[in-house]
Each structure stands twice: as C-alpha cells, then as structure tokens.
Amino acid sequence: MTARQLFEYALIELNKVEAPSLLLEDYNYFLNKAVINYVNKRYNIYDVNQQTTDDLRVLKGTATITNFVAKGGSKLHGASFVAQLPQDYFHLLSCVAEFNVMKRFKCYTPAVPFQVGVKRLTAEMYAGIINNFYMKPSYKNPYYYLHNSSPVIVESNIPGENDEEKLDTQRDGNSSPVNIEIRYGKDASLFQLASIEVDYLKVPRYIRLTQEQVDETEDNSSDLEFPDYVCHEIIKELVALLMENASDPRLNTNIPVNQSIAAPQQAQSDQGNKRSR
C-alpha cells in the first residue's frame, strides 16, 4: 500500500472523497501520529501471540554493540559500562551480554567468552536489590539501564541518519543519543564486557505525501513498509484522529464498529508485568 492509497482510503472512510476538508500537511502529521499510536499499542502486547509479533516484524532490528566506556567514580554501581544505541532506536525488546573471562575461575576458562541475558533495571528497583544477594548485579545477573544523561557519550558502531529535514526514507527519531548502561557489580577484574546484542524496534519510517503526488494520474508515492493488513489498522487509527480533530459525531460509532480482535486482557496484564520486572 502506498502513501497516496492510504490518503484516499482515509477520505473514503470520512466520506470526503470529492471535497477533502484536510490540508495535506495536516494529513502528513496525523498519519505519522497514527503510525506511532499503532506501534506503541502493539509493542505493549508484543510476543503475546504470533499475530502481535508479526504486526511489528518490519520494525524489528538487531545490533551488536562493541564500543563501551567505563563509568567510574561510583562504588555503588561497581562495574558499569556505557554504550550508545543505534540512532533509529525506538523500543528495546531484549539484551544479551557477552563477557570475556580474564583468568581461570570456577568452571570458566580464559579466552572462552560466555553469554548471559541482561535484565531491565529501573531507578526504583536499584535501591532494593543492591543488598540482596540473589538479585544484586553480578556477572551472572547483569542489568541494563537506559538514559540520556550520562556524562560519557560513545559513538555507536551502528550508522544513523542526521538529515535536517525528514525524508520518506528516514528513521531518525531521537534528537539526542540514547545510552545503555550495563551494570554487573564488582566482577570487572574477572569478567570483561566484550559486546552486547540488542533486539529492538526501529523508529517507523517517516511518511511524506506531496501535492504533486496527489495530483499525478499515476501513483508515484512511496510504499509503506508495513504489510497491507497492518496498513488497514493504521487507517483506523488515522480516521479516529481525523474525526476527533473535526469533532465528527461519527467518532462515537466508528471506533466500536472498526474494533479489531484485541489480545486477551490477562495476556496484556501478564505482558505488562514482564516488562516491569
């Protein structure tokens, strides 16, 4: 489905095909907002079932990050390293750390790296786990922490885009670098962080429709990156935004009539609990 088709289908839903009461720049704004709304809703129940995973498969990316800077000066954090996530980063799905063993220790052999899953750390959690033997950061139980305020900025080895004006192929959605900090206690002398592999959702590609593309007989607008069935879901989000903006009374009936099958409430709450851990 193309950007112009999406525009035309939205006008059909609004009964405004012959006389669209919508500026094209307003349409571009509401369309990109509808995409973000849809992606955020599906991310909230990501991996609940195969459909919710498929809905966002075109945005899934994997990055292996090897550039780190040690964050020193704090006995509280112990071993702590900061890296920069890709510039098209939107939401994190998973994180795995690879450590190099510096010397023989227990069952670990030097020069043989090992991998371990990294858990999400919140500011509130950290105060409760630093003195908990079973939950405190260690090489067996590392944590990641996302922020933008680190004094050390590391250039990512994943290229991004820095165009001043957004293009219809651009994914640059972060005005400042997003840093990920890996904390694993006081084990840096034995285990050295070699790399982290993150699965994440990319920023949705910016959608831009011009007046020339609307006026042309042949549709030369850009193709949307989502499969057609997802585009129809985005149209629902878009139409709801346009109706609300125009104070259209049909909004009260449009949303219930066009409601798709949602994930079970129990599945949504379980997924929310997993992400809060």
Least confident of 93-107, 111-125, 168-182, 258-272: 258-272
- Say if strands 119-120 and 143-147 run parallel, antiparallel, or are unpaired: parallel
The distance between the two most distant Cα atoms of the chain, rounded to a whole number of Å, is: 76
pTM: 0.78
pLDDT, tens digit, 9 for 90 and up, residues 132-185: 778 888 888 888 888 765 445 455 544 444 445 555 556 777 777 888 888 887
For residue 52, pLDDT over 90 is answered with no
Strand order in the sheet with 60-65: 60-65, 191-202, 89-101, 114-117
pLDDT tens-digit series, residues 70-94: 776 556 666 788 888 888 889 999 9
Contacts of residue 245, Cβ cutoff 8 Å, sequence gap at least 6:
26, 30
The residues pairing with 138 across neighbouring beta strands, listed in sequence order, are 141
Domains of the chain, residue spans:
3-57+206-276, 59-202
